[in-house]
Amino acid sequence: MRVGFTASRKVGNAVARNRVKRRLRALVDKVMPEAADPAQDYVFIGRPETLTRDFTVLEQELRQALKKLAEKKPAQANPVSRT
């Protein structure tokens, strides 16, 4: 599974953007191994609220989002191989 992180300048200065990405990385390390589809790629976009939101709330929201993605994913008869 590939995971990408981004935070625009709207989030704040470089220190704030890096802190947002560190929080997202910690969240991904905790949640993704058990809840994500390893065949998918994910991109996390840092928002200003990521700095102030409680980590447990972020975790719950990520779990809900991954569950929603899993429900929407159509079954693939012939998955495309990536080289």
Residue-wise pLDDT for 11-70, tens only, equals 999 999 999 999 999 999 999 988 888 888 899 999 999 999 999 999 999 999 988 888
| Contact criterion met (CB below 8 Å) for 63 and 31 | yes
Q: Tokens for 57?
A: 């709330």
Looking at residue 79, its pLDDT comes to 60
Write down the pTM of the prediction. Answer: 0.77
Q: Tokens for 61?
A: 């929201």
Give 5-58 as a DSSP string: EEE-TTS-SHHHHHHHHHHHHHHHHHHHHHHS-TTSEEEEEE-THHHHS-HHHH
Architecture of the CATH domain 2-65: 2-Layer Sandwich (3.30)
Domain boundaries, the chain: 2-65
Q: Is the pLDDT of residue 78 over 60?
A: no
